[in-house]
Amino acid sequence: MAKSTRAARLTEYTAWKALDAHSRNIQGTVYVHIQIGADGRVLVARGQGTHPYLVKAAEDNVRQWVFGPFPPRGEYPIYHTVTYVYKLEGKPAAVFFYPPVVRTALPDRVEIQTRPFFDDLVAPTTKSATPESRGTK
């Protein structure tokens, strides 16, 4: 992609979409292959990689992007790949007071980082009782 086409504008990134992934404790890397039209809009976005929820979130997000400005002459569509990295790092949290941190290296990479989640309303699982542990056989 020519240097003049590398200016991407992120129109309304919803990092809060990552909170649902956070509550499910899913993470991973998604590669979204896109086609950019002459008007700078994303024509096609096809993701692959980790959990289907994260793939859909990345595809939905990149479809909001507008690329440009473009040189007066060019060949369209332009093909490009955007990498989304969803990471859970740090001590698990039972609350959502820790919003995701979003780092970008546009138009090539978006990284979303938040803490793992644990549900403090659910009792921790214990070993199931075996006949031996109950004193029966």
Q: In this structure, is residue 123 part of a structural domain?
A: no
93: confidence class by pLDDT, cuts 50, 70, 90: low
Q: In this structure, is residue 136 part of a structural domain?
A: no
The parent domain of residue 23 ranges over 3-114
pLDDT cut 70: percent of the chain above it: 65
Q: In this structure, is residue 129 part of a structural domain?
A: no
Q: In this structure, is residue 134 part of a structural domain?
A: no
Q: In this structure, is residue 43 part of a structural domain?
A: yes
CA distances from 45 to 34, 87, 88, 133 (A): 5, 22, 25, 55
Query: Looking at residues 79-89, what average pLDDT do you find?
Result: 91
Q: In this structure, is residue 121 part of a structural domain?
A: no
Q: In this structure, is residue 130 part of a structural domain?
A: no
Number of domains in the chain: 1
pTM over 0.75: no
Q: In this structure, is residue 52 part of a structural domain?
A: yes
Lowest mean pLDDT among 41-50, 101-110, 120-129: 120-129
CA distances from 101 to 8, 14, 27, 114 (A): 20, 11, 14, 6
Which residue would you say has higher pLDDT here, 14 or 5? 14
Query: Looking at residues 55-84, what average pLDDT do you find?
Result: 91
Copy the structure tokens of residue 107.
Answer: 């138009």
